[in-house]
Amino acid sequence: MNPSPFQVTSRLVKDVAVVYPQGYLNNLAGEGLVSECSRYARTGIKKVVVNFGKTDLINSIGISLLLHVMEELQAVEGTLCFTDMSKVQVDIFEMLGLSKFFLFFPDEDRALQFLNVRER
């Protein structure tokens, strides 16, 4: 089965950017995720939630792209939250020692609660 083409959508919830990568984060189309996060960072948004609920798999290219996102938020002392990740993905990030650079949440609501954002 061919993986679905990668695409990114996002929305702003108060001062938090919620980004939804969709598809297989394995190719250069994934740079759309980096540019989406950069776009918010340039407008002063320092809190970013990336919802991986519709991301099938993350390979080495995907990790390289996420390093970029982590670095950008680190530079502005922002907060990066990852949600809706599969256990396999969480295990990989922990094994690589990357989990200290962002926060894991089971779902988007809990990430937004943590960031003190209430949706109406």
Binding stretches for other proteins (CB under 8 A): 26-28, 59-65, 67-68, 70-71, 91-92, 95-98, 101
Report the nearest approach of other proteins to the CB of residue 2 (Å). 13
- Of 70 and 117, the one with the shorter C-beta distance to other proteins is 70
Report the nearest approach of other proteins to the CB of residue 35 (Å). 14
**DSSP states of 68-113 as a string?**
HHHHHHHHTT-EEEEES--HHHHHHHHHTT-GGGSEEESSHHHHHH
- Of 62 and 115, the one with the shorter C-beta distance to other proteins is 62
Report the nearest approach of other proteins to the CB of residue 87 (Å). 12
- Of 13 and 103, the one with the shorter C-beta distance to other proteins is 103
- Of 12 and 67, the one with the shorter C-beta distance to other proteins is 67
63-71, long-range: CB < 8 A, 24+ apart: 63/96, 63/98, 65/25, 65/30, 65/31, 65/33, 65/34, 66/25, 66/33, 66/98, 67/98, 68/34, 69/33, 69/34, 69/37, 70/98, 70/101, 70/102
Report the nearest approach of other proteins to the CB of residue 80 (Å). 13
